[in-house]
Structure 1
Amino acid sequence: MPQHGNIDRKIVTGAALNYAGFFAGKLIVFLNTVILARLLAPEHFGLVALGLLVLAVAETLAEAGTGAAVVWHGADVEETAPVALAVGLLSAGIIVALVLALAPAIAAFFHEPEATGIIRALALCALISAPASVFSGILQKRMQFGKRLMPELLKAIAKGAVGIPLALWGFGAWSLVFSQIAGVVVGLALLWRLSDWTPRLSLRPSILRQVLPYGLNIAALGLLGLAIKKLDVTIIGYRFDAAQLGHYTLAFSLVELSVMGLVWAASQAFFPALATTAQNPEALQRMFRKGLGRLFLLVLPMSAGLAIAAEPFILTLYGAKWAEAADLMRILAFYAMFYAVGFNVGDVYKATGRPQVLTWINLGNLVIAAPLLIAAATFGLKGVAMGQVVLAIILSAISWALARRFSGLGPEVLWQALRGPALATAIMAAVCILADRLWFADLSPPLRLVSLALLGGVIYGALVGGHMLIRRRRVPEPAE
């Protein structure tokens, strides 16, 4: 039991540290974006979003699951990391060469020839991301989450230090491109230094035969997940212009910063911690349920808050030219909420050495997502956002329906983790919506935003605090 308690603490601490680094870095990026959004036009963000879409695919293929393979493999990192690094660099070279050659065709597909140079420039980041994934995997395997804070912070600072001056000097979309490149370079340098590992290359057959299949499964899983996650950007980029894509990208980035960022951070801690209990189903289930309950305590009110305060938030921070993003952000907040409900189930499959289960699940999910979002696009940008909500509900339901069969996680696990936070969030949301309509609607956007944030925080904090106090009083005193 002490061992399980220690791992529980590692999950909480790891998730907190991961999110602290992620959030601190993203907060700086967010502040950078607020400034850049007032200096640049929506179409600049749209063009770069296309480049980042291609980069995301290139990075997933280039990394080939090497970072996850380092975490999963039982051998010491001195044996697995050299093989992972060699595989990553080889795959990165091939993928980047293909993207450089295909960039004009990709830009033509999106009807944005200006994006050719942007796609080529950003593709080079995949050469950097492959080794960075190995260094990050080393830290994750050692559960040294604190060491991953500094790279996230300094990457964000580097992005702002490069992007904002270039935007002021009239570089337009390229200010965002060079800021991305600067962040990736700084991140690699710091991860290399903090991993305390001297890079070397190896293709040792005994390790390669184990690392490569697992890594390819993780890469396939990542690619399928990326296809689902970025399908909306692909469809919008193809059917709408760069300015509309810019509005959607901005709205999505806000829910990604808060809700989806927290889910990702929890996943980074769940994976290595659950791997330690992979041979004990009861311990694994208990650990997962506790972690999920703590995650929902934050995820649900964040999502509701973003939906309720979307309009004053956008108008206060970005200005009237971004007003179209408010309705999109409101809808996408519900997408993030339902996405969070099912996302972390996948960590169980990875921890138990069965990523192929997730691969097949995500393949099925993609078959559902593609026609749904293509049809939703006929109703405009809001249609795509609503399609995302419906898709998240369907995919989370599928994840939990299959969880019992493949991992023994029944619906009772979800219910126990969800019921308390869901009730508190519903009460908080109802009070805030009523107050907004009765008293806050005529206030200026900044004052309205602050009023909603304070009211929601006080109500939710009181509900959760009261619930915890009641539970403590119900716990019987230990016998003398």
Structure 2
Amino acid sequence: MAPRRVPDPPGLRARTARGGVVNAAFLSGAELLVLAQGLLATALLGPDAIGLYGIVTTTAMTIVALRRVGIDEAFVQTAVDDEEAEFQRAMTVELALGVIGAVAVAALAPVLAAAYDDSRLLGLTLAVTYLPVAFALQAPQWVFFKRMEYVRLRVLQAIVPLGTVAVAVPLLLAGVGVWSLVIGPFVGNLAAIVAAWRASPYALKLRPDRAAARRYLRFSWPVFVTSLVALLVAQGQLAVFGLRDGIVAVGFISLAATLTRYADRADQILATTIYPAIVRVRDRVDVLEELFEKANRLTLMWAFPFGAGLALFGADLIVFVLGDDWRGAIVLLGGLAVAVALQQVGYSWFAFYRARGESWPQAVESLAFGAAFAALAIPGTLLWDEWGFVIGRVACTLCVLAVRAVYVRRLLPGARMAWMAVRAAVPVALATLPVVALRLALWGGERPLWQALLELALWLGALAAVTRRLEGDLLGELRGYLRRSA
């Protein structure tokens, strides 16, 4: 079945495609720097320090997510005559939530220190209490998001990772230890706040408005539920390993979670790119179905190979780069990579509901995920250690996909999630076959570095060739939009 082509508002396709490329260029560059810093920190600090940092950052960032409840998206879809006043109302709500989030992080600091019986967690956690407020103070970025001015938006957003790496890496090399990973982000966020305020087209002032607050929070409560479930799952997987096996085990699951989170980066790029476009065409189901299908095909071109790549070569990354201290993370890294990659099938669906002012379906999916995690992943871990966790986590993902499929069919009856998943799996499967054959042919215990590199080159070459053959029409269409917008 050929992809549907439908007319669109003048220039919207080209503008969205150009925005996707800009977003990809900026975010991938920034993420590569952060990944390099993370690998350096992992190799230098070891599982114990990374376990501490994993507990602290998981707590802080999930509380940041709790207060980032879609105020920016609600602002993007709001059409008013006085946009400056509306921005000030939205920023006021966001800042109030940020203050509440900072207090929550501070309150959890002694709880974490007591739960893990490690006093170091108290100071580290208190040191990141600023994060919820820091993100709120970068609210001027929303204006450029709404206007689809992606270059200005991504330049501002790139300041945090660039500043973080510029400060954290020298501190790591100087032997400052885990505090390097706290000081670096503080400097990066401070620089980003200053830049956002200088770039803001609107005056930055508080404008409390109860009616506006109710309107934004009514849109945002389901997003809060989603973030709360994410917090419970993230803390649950740390606790189930840490309370039983200690901080080193937390380091293993933290490493796996940190590396596998890059599987959703294509989704983040595309979801933030197409959301303003979805808002503009939210009443045209045919256009929405096309957007959903093409965005997800592009997403899975990254997510499936990334997950399969970590499953195939994650052990090599640990053995040849990070060192023997990290061997305990091999099973967790490979299994979590598969689970997270599968979870990207149809992942951007919630943006289509939010554009219509319906944010509650995502909360339903999140509750299903939380329930499945409690029923499958935690008991699996207690019974069969890391293999039980991996199997339970993959089963959780299948439960999530079942719920997601129901809501996708309801809003976008022509969307084909299963077809997209199978299509994306074909290049990965065909690229993996020769690698498996080579491993079997050269089987002899521990693989040398040259064999791992040969397998990786073979896998990447086959993957690129098959993907180009299968998805050439979509990639060609994208190039055409970019040429017309140049």
TM-score for the superposition, normalised by structure 2: 0.88
Check 1:82–1:205 CA distance in 2 against 1; reply closer, same or farther (3 A cut).
same
CA–CA distance in 1 between the matches of 2:14 and 2:235? Answer: 34
Contact 2:63 2:231 (8 Å CA) reproduced: no
CA apart distance, 1:442: 7.2
Write the deviation string for residues 394-451 of structure 1: whole angstroms up to 9, x where unpaired: 211221133223x1345x5214433332222211112222123324877865433432
Paired amino acid for 1:180: P
Contact 2:63–2:104 (Cα < 8 Å) also in 1: no
**Deviation readout 1:277-306 (Å, 9 max, x if unpaired):** 211112211221122122222222222122
Structure 1 residue aligned with 2:144: 139
- Paired with 1:276 and 1:81, the residues of 2 have a C-alpha distance of 19
User: Structure 1 residues 119 and 470 mapped into 2: Cα distance closer, same or farther (>3 Å)?
Assistant: closer
1:3 maps to 2:3? no
**Hey, what does 1:291 align to over in structure 2?**
295
CA separation of 1:140 and 1:224: change in aligned 2, threshold 3 A:
farther
Q: Provide the C-alpha distance between the structure 2 equivalents of 1:332 and 1:270, rounded to a whole number of angstroms.
A: 28
1:151-300 to structure 2, matched below 5 A, reads 151-228=156-233, 231-257=236-262, 259-300=263-304
SS of residue in 2 equivalent to 1:343: coil
Contact 1:15–1:266 (8 Å) recurs in 2: yes
After TM superposition, give the deviation of residue 271 of structure 1 in Å.
2.3
The structural deviation recorded for 1:218 is: 2.9
Secondary structure in 1 aligned to 2:127?
Answer: helix
Secondary structure, in 3 states, of the residue corresponding to 1:304? helix
Q: 2:105 aligns with which of 99, 104, 122?
A: 99
Residue 51 of structure 1 aligns to which amino acid in structure 2? V
Query: Which residue of structure 2 lines up, in the alignment, with residue 475 of structure 1?
Result: none
> Against the structure 1 CA distance between its residues 148 and 434, is the aligned structure 2 distance closer, same or farther, given a 3 Å change threshold?
farther
Identify if the C-alpha distance between structure 1 residues 199 and 106 changes in structure 2 by more than 3 Å, giving closer, same or farther. Answer: same
Report matched runs for 1:79-98 at 5 Å: 79-98=85-104
1:38 corresponding residue in structure 2: 43
Within the alignment, does 1:434 sit opposite 2:440 as a pair? no
Contact 2:361-2:407 within 8 A present in 1 as well? no
432-441 or 384-393, which deviates more: 432-441
Of residues 336, 339, 354, the one that matches 2:340 is 336
**Paired residues of 2:161 and 2:185 also in contact (CA < 8 A):** no
Once structures 1 and 2 are overlaid, which stretch shifts more, 229-238 or 32-41?
229-238
Indicate conservation of the 8 Å contact 1:59/1:130, yes or no: no
Match for residue 452 of structure 1 among 430, 455, 459: 455
Task: Structure 2: give runs of 5+ residues left out of the alignment.
Answer: 1-5, 476-486
Equivalent position to 1:318, from 319, 322, 325: 322
Q: Give the whole-Å Cα distance in 2 for the aligned partners of 1:240 and 1:126.
A: 31
> Quick check: 1:141–1:272 contact (8 Å CA) kept in 2?
yes
RMSD: 2.8
Tell me, which stretches of 5 or more residues in structure 1 are unaligned?
Answer: 473-480
Deviation at 1:118, TM superposition (A): 0.9
- Which amino acid in 2 is paired with 1:120? L
Contact kept, 8 Å, 1:274 with 1:351, in 2: the verdict is yes
What is the Cα deviation at residue 342 of structure 1? 3.9
CA distance in 2, matches of 1:343, 1:175: 34
2:105 is matched by which residue type in structure 1?
Answer: V
Partner of 2:357: 353
Structure 1 residues 372 and 444: CA distance shift in structure 2, 3 A? closer
Task: Report SS of the residue matched to 1:97.
Answer: helix
The match for 1:478 is none
Q: Distance in 2 between matches of 1:268 and 1:108?
A: 39
**Alignment counterpart, residue 376 of structure 2, candidates 372, 375, 388:** 372
Q: Which one is further off, 462-471 or 245-254?
A: 462-471
| Cα offset, 1:334, TM superposition | 0.6
- Deviation, structure 1 residue 7: 3.4
List aligned pairs for 1:70-85, cutoff 5 A. Answer: 70-75=75-80, 77-85=83-91
Q: What TM-score, normalized to structure 1?
A: 0.89
Question: Structure 2 vs 1, CA of residues 223 and 468 (structure 1 numbering), >3 Å: closer, same or farther?
Answer: closer
2: CA distance, partners of 1:183 / 1:271 = 27
Residue-by-residue CA offset, 1:443-464 (whole Å, 9 max, x unaligned): 8654334322321122122223
In 2, Cα distance between equivalents of 1:380 and 1:244: 11
Relative to structure 1, the CA distance from residue 342 to residue 238 in structure 2 (aligned partners, 3 Å threshold; closer, same or farther) is farther
In structure 1, the partner of 2:58 is 53
The amino acid across from 2:150 in the alignment is F
Q: Distance in 2 between the 1:225 and 1:7 partners?
A: 34
Task: Give me the identity figure in percent.
Answer: 21
Match for residue 119 of structure 1? Answer: 125
Residue 456 of structure 1 aligns with an amino acid whose one-letter code is W
1-structure distance, mates of 2:360, 2:72: 17
State the distance in 2 between where 1:251 and 1:468 align: 30
1:64 deviates by 4.3
